[in-house]
């Protein structure tokens, strides 16, 4: 699927390096890797602000929608409308819903229907795919 912000792998690597992204960010965002649970810098981060795609800066989540799912990854109950594209993921013998940035196609994580808020959703994201902007 083509996205509005296309780059080659080398261009993505350079962009992520320039931003000081975590070493695993390229594999997570461009090749759908998953960071180890409880290791991401935003898993236990609770400041006011917003979370953006590390690759293109697209605003994905408001901090007010973040909650502690005790799963090891930052979890959110609601995405910014239109910011995320959902794709059926049947890898690893499972059927899940992958979430990618609608602007650049960066892999963010997965969304599950077991969230504790009124949305019923749990956007389980990789910290390496996110950048935080304080309020």
Please give the positions annotated as active site. Answer: 124
C-beta pairs of 26-29 under 8 Å, 24+ apart in sequence: 28/107, 28/126, 28/128, 28/129, 29/54, 29/55, 29/106, 29/107, 29/108, 29/128, 29/129
Cα–Cα distances (Å) from 125 to 37, 53, 54, in that order, read 10, 11, 12
Q: Are 103 and 7 in contact (CB under 8 A)?
A: no
Residue 33: helix, strand or coil by DSSP? Answer: coil
């Amino acid at each position: 699927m083509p996205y509005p912000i296309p780059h080659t792998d080398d261009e993505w690597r350079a962009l992520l390096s320039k931003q000081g992204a975590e070493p695993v960010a390229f594999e997570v965002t461009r090749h759908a890797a998953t960071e180890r649970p409880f290791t991401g810098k935003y898993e236990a981060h609770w400041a006011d602000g917003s979370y953006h795609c590390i690759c293109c800066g697209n605003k994905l989540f408001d901090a007010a929608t973040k909650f502690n799912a005790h799963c090891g990854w930052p979890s959110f109950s609601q995405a910014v409308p239109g910011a995320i594209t959902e794709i059926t993921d049947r890898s690893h013998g499972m059927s899940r819903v992958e979430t990618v940035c609608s602007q650049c196609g960066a892999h963010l994580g997965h969304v599950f229907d077991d969230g504790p808020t009124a949305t019923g959703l749990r956007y389980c994201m990789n910290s390496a795919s996110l950048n935080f902007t304080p309020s």
